[in-house]
Amino acid sequence: MIAEFIILSICFLFSTFFSIVETAYTSLSHLKVSHLVEKGVYGAALVKKLKDEPSKLLSVVLIGNNIANIGASVLATSIIISFFERRGVQNLGAVLGLATGIITFLILVFGEIIPKNIAIRNSDKIALIFSLPLFIVSIILTPISFVLTVISKPFVSLFGGKISSKGPFLTEDDLRFLIATSEKEGIIEKKERDMISSIFDFGDTTVKEVMTPRPDIKAIDGSVDIKEAVQIVKDTGHSRLPVYEANLDNIIGVIYAKDLLSCSLSKTIRDYMRSVIFIPEVKKIDELLRQMQKNRTHIAVVIDEYGVTSGIVSMEDIIEEIVGEIHDEFEQAEKNFEKIDQNTYLVSGKMPIYETNAELAIDIPVSDGYDTIAGFVVSMLGKMPSVGDFVKHENIEISVERVSKRRITRLKIVKGPIRIEDNIVGG
């Protein structure tokens, strides 16, 4: 009888052990584990090794827990039945029912609820403390775990699942959610969230989405003299300008403003012109950035599938995809809001909805799909915006005044006394 009680106690201890490590390891994030490893915390490397094989870890824990719980149930039932038999109790059904109730209560409370509640509050400490015992147990139970994994794999695959020993353990969606949550909790600011989100989208963005379109290209005719070229650079305010021959479909190079500062008027701009790279519209901007760094160039000509010049793109355009609009020393920062007359206003496309409503005393609806007045207009238009497009909402008309790189940069808002019942879109 004493031996049975000792073995029963051991089963309960193992049940507690497996429950506590199961919760500790599932609650412990891979980021936390990596941080512990970097700090050189004792046992962290072993914890990482166990976490890096989640399917094996789960199998070992479940096998061990089930063996411990079944062993405890069998022994407890045997002890209870023997106890009542020695006292002359013959109603075996009642005894079995009582035994089942007692063992279920003990396993539920001492083998599940208590250890798991302790583990969830101290996951990192418990994972470190029990890393070595768990590693030893995993070695012992590996043969059983392997056999059961092989047997279960076809059934898992049948329902579209996959037993994988490796990650990824942190997906892009997980990171986006983490960033959004951090902003809501005040850990990071909105502009920081926007910058991090831009990095995620960076590799999916094509050159066509960020380039300066052909109608907006400022360029120099290769036949002009140095004096005229200098004046063009002054007028445009750009530090680099493409040079063309005959038309924009024959761009032959690029001229840097700094190269014209100490040039000889007897020479032509071709003597100071630098080579330019040509890239397709569909090229990803992260690939282009690497190419520009390799070639040590800051500007590229964008061509379409027919070889026609469709735009130009600079390194500044690419960087702005992450950090937002960059104004150089020649650019004048525009006001977000400018009143023209009693009912007419010019506003920046990036002006927030709440600020627009407050300044103009209007009621543009807010949505999870947009934060700015430009976002509202695009959502109403349902297409890429062009200058002259307009939308009407209640008693206001919003028209697109300026578009840069497919983004609305300036809008005109006209307030009217008549309330229009239906929203109107036009262009």
- Which domain CATH number covers 286? 3.10.580.10
**Ranges 162-176, 364-378, 390-404, most confident:** 390-404
Q: Which of 295, 312, 184 is nearest to 244 (CA)?
A: 312
Tell whether 165 is covered by a domain: no
Distance (Å) of CA 84 to CA 73, 138, 143, 181, 193: 17, 39, 40, 58, 67
Domain of 298? 207-323
- Domain total of the chain: 4
Residue-level pLDDT at 427: 55
Q: Give 170 or 100, the one with higher predicted confidence.
A: 100
Residues 135 and 255 in one domain: no
CA count, 13 A, side-chain hemisphere, 102: 16
Q: Does position 329 have pLDDT exceeding 60, yes or no? A: no
- Which whole number is the average pLDDT over 355-372? 84
Tell whether 331 is covered by a domain: no
Q: Give 168 or 13, the one with higher predicted confidence.
A: 13
Q: Give 72 or 91, the one with higher predicted confidence.
A: 72
Residues 384 and 298 in one domain: no
Residues 6 and 154 in one domain: yes
Residues 60 and 34 in one domain: yes
Q: Are strands 396-404 and 212-213 parallel, antiparallel or unpaired?
A: unpaired
Tell whether 332 is covered by a domain: no
Q: Are strands 309-314 and 337-339 parallel, antiparallel or unpaired?
A: unpaired
Give residue 425's pLDDT band: very low, low, confident or very high (50, 70, 90).
low
Domain boundary among 323, 346, 363: 323
Handedness of CA 311, 316, 321, 326 (dihedral sign): negative
Give residue 419's pLDDT band: very low, low, confident or very high (50, 70, 90).
very low
Residues 377 and 394 in one domain: yes
Residue-level pLDDT at 139: 92
CB 302 within 8 A of CB 314: no
Quick: pLDDT tens for 279-314: 999 999 999 999 999 988 999 999 998 899 999 999
Residues 235 and 96 in one domain: no
Quick: pLDDT tens for 93-118: 777 788 788 888 888 888 889 999 99
CB 198 within 8 A of CB 325: no
* Rounded-to-integer distance, Cα 135 and Cα 142, Å: 10
Q: Does position 85 have pLDDT exceeding 80, yes or no? A: no
Tell whether 76 is covered by a domain: yes
Tell whether 46 is covered by a domain: yes
Domain boundary among 323, 356, 374: 323
Residue-level pLDDT at 289: 92
Residues 187 and 250 in one domain: no
Tell whether 64 is covered by a domain: yes
Quick: pLDDT tens for 196-254: 877 877 888 889 888 888 888 899 998 888 888 888 888 888 889 999 999 999 999 99
> Mean pLDDT in the chain?
84
Residues 180 and 227 in one domain: no
Residue-level pLDDT at 129: 92
Residues 341 and 316 in one domain: no
Question: Is the full-model pTM beyond 0.85?
Answer: no
Domain boundary among 323, 354, 375: 323
* Rounded-to-integer distance, Cα 317 and Cα 74, Å: 72
Residues 125 and 82 in one domain: yes
Residues 153 and 6 in one domain: yes
Give residue 324's pLDDT band: very low, low, confident or very high (50, 70, 90).
low
Residues 422 and 369 in one domain: yes
